[in-house]
């Protein structure tokens, strides 16, 4: 039996400059996609995958994110006394068990690898998940659940991956395939934000990982990589080859949205809105009319 994956790290220390001015006063992870903050999608996905401990790596100005996970006792009381049980149910579904969430502060913006390293003492010597809440994935079963199921089978390090247009390679970590097994493949090499001409592959890393604790030990070396930052991609890449643990790319079933960008956020809003049972049909009609009107211009 493999050791179960029960801990997940959520790096949320980024400044969110791509969403200025909104992120002047609110953390981007709190921005609302349809009716809930981005971070709630990641938490729900983690819970569906059996995660029990949620480790947030935060930074200055993320207070609203921490408050979001407090139980809203007054509000719950009001809804109960007014008989608004549907709303109460929604609210209660966001409540987390006491002690299930831990916050670690990243004191300096030194990169994603460094953010993960900041949580090393809470992970200790166990396999763990990493979820980047910017990457919202619509999938059934949820993406991390698919990955945990694969992990139970193959072990090692598992990285969610999808094909991207080659000219977009420089926005991602890119995985080169060594042996292809269909839904997953073993990774030969991986490089963070390459020049598209440097890589053979167009398989990008999407923000879901299951990692062995040895990756944390690799991060101890504090080597800087792309953009002068300490990169998670580099620390995982050091596992490839003799003596390291296996590294796999995982082709999840589902659709990923880059909610760290404005266009990605808008697309996610439309996609999630269209699949909403209450107003999806209304939205579809509105979009069709709007698009037709734009055509006439």
By CB under 6 A, tell whether 42 contacts ligand G1P. Answer: no
Q: How far is residue 270's CA from residue 250's CA, in Å, rounded to a whole number?
A: 26
Least distance from ligand G1P to the Cβ atom of residue 107, Å: 18
68, 16, 61, 19: which is closest to 39 by C-alpha? 68
By CB under 6 A, tell whether 172 contacts ligand G1P. Answer: yes
Least distance from ligand G1P to the Cβ atom of residue 294, Å: 30
Q: Can you name the residues that pair with 53 across neighbouring β-strands? A: 7
Stretch that binds ligand G1P, among 101-109, 199-207, 210-218, 283-291 (CB under 6 A): 199-207
Among 13, 206, 235, 236, binds ligand G1P (CB under 6 A): 206
Among 33, 46, 204, 210, binds ligand G1P (CB under 6 A): 204
By CB under 6 A, tell whether 10 contacts ligand G1P. Answer: no
The residue sitting closest to ligand G1P, measured at its beta carbon, is 173
By CB under 6 A, tell whether 173 contacts ligand G1P. Answer: yes
Question: Binding to ligand G1P (CB under 6 A): which residues in 86-115?
Answer: 112
44, 210, 207: which is closest to 128 by C-alpha? 210
By CB under 6 A, tell whether 247 contacts ligand G1P. Answer: no
**Do strands 7-11 and 53-58 pair parallel, antiparallel, or not at all (unpaired)?**
parallel
User: 176 Cβ partners below 8 Å, 6+ apart?
Assistant: 187, 188, 189, 190, 191, 199, 200, 201, 203
Among 29, 192, 234, 239, binds ligand G1P (CB under 6 A): 192
Among 207, 225, 249, 273, binds ligand G1P (CB under 6 A): 207
Least distance from ligand G1P to the Cβ atom of residue 202, Å: 12
Among 42, 57, 123, 132, binds ligand G1P (CB under 6 A): 132
Beta strands, E only, 17-124? 32-33, 36-37, 53-58, 101-105
By CB under 6 A, tell whether 162 contacts ligand G1P. Answer: no
Cis peptide before 58, with omega less than 30 degrees from 0?
Answer: no
Beta strands, E only, 149-246? 157-163, 173-180, 184-192, 203-211
Half-sphere exposure of 197 (CA within 13 A, CB side): 0
Considering the complex, state which of residue 94 and residue 261 has its C-beta at the smaller distance from ligand G1P.
261
Task: Name the residues that contact ligand G1P, by CB under 6 A.
Answer: 112, 132, 135, 172-173, 192, 204-207, 232-233
């Amino acid at each position: 039996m493999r050791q179960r994956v029960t801990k997940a790290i959520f790096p949320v220390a980024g400044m969110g400059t791509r969403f200025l001015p909104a992120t002047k006063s609110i953390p981007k992870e709190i921005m609302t996609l349809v009716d809930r903050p981005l971070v709630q999608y990641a938490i729900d996905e983690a819970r569906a995958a059996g995660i029990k401990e949620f480790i947030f790596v935060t930074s200055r100005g993320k207070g609203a994110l921490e408050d979001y996970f407090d139980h809203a006792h007054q509000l719950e009381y009001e809804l109960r006394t007014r008989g608004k049980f549907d709303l109460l149910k929604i609210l209660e579904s966001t409540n987390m068990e006491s002690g299930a969430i831990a916050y670690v502060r990243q004191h300096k913006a030194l990169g994603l690898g460094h953010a993960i390293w900041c949580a090393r003492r809470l992970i200790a010597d166990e396999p763990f998940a990493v979820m980047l809440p910017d990457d919202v994935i619509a999938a059934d079963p949820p993406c991390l659940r698919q990955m945990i199921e694969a992990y139970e089978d193959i072990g090692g390090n598992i990285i969610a991956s999808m094909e991207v247009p080659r000219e977009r390679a420089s926005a991602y970590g890119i995985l080169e395939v060594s042996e292809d097994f269909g839904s997953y493949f073993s990774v030969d090499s991986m490089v963070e934000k390459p020049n598209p001409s440097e890589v053979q592959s167009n398989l990008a890393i999407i923000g879901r990982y299951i990692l062995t604790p040895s990756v944390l030990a690799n991060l101890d070396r504090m080597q800087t990589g792309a953009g002068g930052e300490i990169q998670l991609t580099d620390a995982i890449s050091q596992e490839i080859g003799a003596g390291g643990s296996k590294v796999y790319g995982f082709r999840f079933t589902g659709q990923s949205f880059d909610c760290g960008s404005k266009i990605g956020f808008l697309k996610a809003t439309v996609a999630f809105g269209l699949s909403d049972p209450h107003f999806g049909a209304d939205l579809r009609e509105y979009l069709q009319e709007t698009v037709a009107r734009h055509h006439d211009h």
